[in-house]
């Protein structure tokens, strides 16, 4: 795909060839000039793709040829995304109900469809490429969830469900919705998901691993670019309407971001080995912190965030 080809209309086959940084640039451009909610909706209409279209045959052959130890490592990273997509699908509906303006609600309904599609994409990949299928989606995810660390489970399962329940019970209480969008769009999507996605897609691209998965996961990243820009714009607008909401965003970031950043970091016991391999154990969390900082700046917040060690020289 030529470098000038607009990502706007790129097909799955073209997205498969697109470096993830080009997709992430859409967000940076969106932060410079925030689009309207309606423009984000129209983007969604133009950026449709089909989970059913992807051929996982080459992915399956690569998976079957992989040594068990490498399978275990790959499964760990992929499982958090699969479970994460299910969690965000199941918790977004109350947000749509609670949105104060119609154009915000219309956008959030498109996001709900996106998250459902992402879950279907992962379910197909797990079944057809990795051979993981326990009958129903719930049964499969009960098994997949075992591969997640405690902190991932806290953010993706406990915290997302807790805030969604509060929004459902009191949809008119704006502090719940503002806390919810901070957790969902800023911490889960802009901080955890984008950094993990960038890391995974860059490694797989270098290894020429899982071509079918890479096509779909790059389409997922393009969808996430709309979700993240929506979240930043919504929080900025809510603070402009009511300054008191800035404190809600601040407190939610202070509460959830340190756990989210630890959740995507290396296990303490793996650090010496990663350093011995000449790699940077903190590349993903460092990118996550930088990503969050940029979004907070546009939201209008200046706050201290956790730091990770500098890259090894
Ligand atoms: Fe998603
Ligand atoms: Fe999303």
User: From CA 127, how far away is CA 283, in angstroms rounded?
Assistant: 30
How close is the Cα of 113 to the center of ligand 1, in Å?
10
Three-class DSSP category at 48: coil
Per-residue pLDDT band at 146 (split at 50, 70, 90): very high
End-to-end CA distance of the chain: 35
| Shortest-distance ligand to the CA of residue 86 | 1
| Shortest-distance ligand to the CA of residue 224 | 2
Residue whose pair of structure tokens reads 């279907």 in the numeric block: 120
pTM of this prediction?
0.95
Which domains occur in the chain, in start order? 36-43+55-299 (1.10.620.20)
How close is the Cα of 274 to the center of ligand 1, in Å?
29
Is residue 75 scored above 90 in pLDDT?
yes
How close is the Cα of 182 to the center of ligand 2, in Å?
13
214-237 pLDDT per residue, tens: 999 999 999 999 999 999 999 999
| Shortest-distance ligand to the CA of residue 185 | 2
For the residues of 228-295, what is the DSSP string, one character each?
HHHHHHHHHHHHHH-TTHHHHHHHHHHHHHHHHHHHTS--GGGHHHHHHTT--TTHHHHHHHHHHHHH
| Shortest-distance ligand to the CA of residue 122 | 1
- Cβ-Cβ contacts under 8 Å for 226 (sequence gap 6 or more): 40, 43, 44, 47, 110, 111, 114
Per-residue pLDDT band at 4 (split at 50, 70, 90): low
How close is the Cα of 302 to the center of ligand 2, in Å?
24
How close is the Cα of 111 to the center of ligand 2, in Å?
7
């Amino acid at each position: 795909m030529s470098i000038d080809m607009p990502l706007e209309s790129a097909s799955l086959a073209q997205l498969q060839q697109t470096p993830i940084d080009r997709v992430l640039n859409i967000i940076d451009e969106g932060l410079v000039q925030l689009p309207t909610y309606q423009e984000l909706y129209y983007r969604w209409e133009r950026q449709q793709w089909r989970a059913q279209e992807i051929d996982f045959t080459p992915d399956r052959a690569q998976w079957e040829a992989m040594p068990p130890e490498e399978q275990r490592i790959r499964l760990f990273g992929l499982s958090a995304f699969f479970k994460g997509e299910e969690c965000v699908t199941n918790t977004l509906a109350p947000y749509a109900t609670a949105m104060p303006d119609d154009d915000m609600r219309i956008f959030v309904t498109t996001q709900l469809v996106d998250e459902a599609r992402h879950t279907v994409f992962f379910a197909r990949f797990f079944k057809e490429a990795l051979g993981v299928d326990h009958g129903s989606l719930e049964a499969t995810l009960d098994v997949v969830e075992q591969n997640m660390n405690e902190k991932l489970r806290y953010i993706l399962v406990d915290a997302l469900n807790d805030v969604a329940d509060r929004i459902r019970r009191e949809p008119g209480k704006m502090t719940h919705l503002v806390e919810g969008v901070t957790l969902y769009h800023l911490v889960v999507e802009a901080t955890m998901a984008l950094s993990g996605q960038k890391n995974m897609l860059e490694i797989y691209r270098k290894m020429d691993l899982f071509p079918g998965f890479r096509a779909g996961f790059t389409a997922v990243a393009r969808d996430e670019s709309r979700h993240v820009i929506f979240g930043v714009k919504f929080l900025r607008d809510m603070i402009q309407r009511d300054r008191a909401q800035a404190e809600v965003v601040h407190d939610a970031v202070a509460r959830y971001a340190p756990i989210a950043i630890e959740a995507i970091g290396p296990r303490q016991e793996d650090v010496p080995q990663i350093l011995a391999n000449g790699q940077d154990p903190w590349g993903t969390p460092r990118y996550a912190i930088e990503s969050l900082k940029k979004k907070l700046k546009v939201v209008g917040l200046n706050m201290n965030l956790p730091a990770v060690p500098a890259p090894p020289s």
